[in-house]
Amino acid sequence: YEQAGEIAPLIETRLGGYPYNAVTWFQRNRSLYSWMVLEKWLFAGIFSLMLMVAAFSTISSLTMIVMEKTREIGILKGMGASSSDILNIFLRQGAMIGLIGAVVGSILAYLLGRGQQIYGWIKLPQDVYIIETLPVQMRGFEFGVVALAAFTLTFMAALYPAFKASRLKPVEAIRYE
């Protein structure tokens, strides 16, 4: 179907032109195709909002961990841990959250997409559309981009709490209750 625009004129030429006319699926069902393109952009917008929520969630979680572990951070610094050691601890924690989230999210997305391809859970009204179910096309590149974006955003969200933890003064942190 991706080559329909190139093949339609060849078919029309082969048929001799008028009164025969080769029309592609996209030309015949322009409203459906437009809806599908709009839907893809809407899903991208929803995905962006979900990523922002995940980023704020990561910032909040790691900030709470820093607040809860302030005394322990002070003890580590008092025992000789450098600011970069503390920074690395919290950055690694953020990276693990991002990695687990990206892997689990990719697996769930694949399973849901594959389920739609096999079982057609999302039905379309037959009086409006010529197809019965919502078509799903999964591309490895898109999975990779989404997983990388989720991981990167989560890792970046970990920077603020990690930086905050690394800047704690040992004496003040140990006194913190």
pLDDT score, position 1: 55
pLDDT score, position 14: 83
How many CB atoms lie under 10 A from the CB of residue 170? 16
Helix 70-78 / helix 83-119 crossing angle, nearest 10 deg: 130
pLDDT digits (tens, 9 = 90+) for 103-113: 999 999 999 99
CA 93 to CA 165: how far, in whole Å? 13
Domain ranges in the chain are 40-175
CA 175 to CA 106: how far, in whole Å? 43
3-class DSSP string for 48-92: HHHHHHHHHHHHHHHHHHHHHCHHHHHHHHHCCCCHHHHHHHHHH
Which H or E run includes 94?
A: helix 83-119
pLDDT score, position 33: 77
Give the pLDDT means over successive 10-residue stretches in the chain (177 positions): 76 79 78 80 86 87 90 91 94 93 93 93 82 86 91 92 91 77
pLDDT score, position 177: 63
**Contact present, 94 and 166 (Cβ < 8 Å):** no
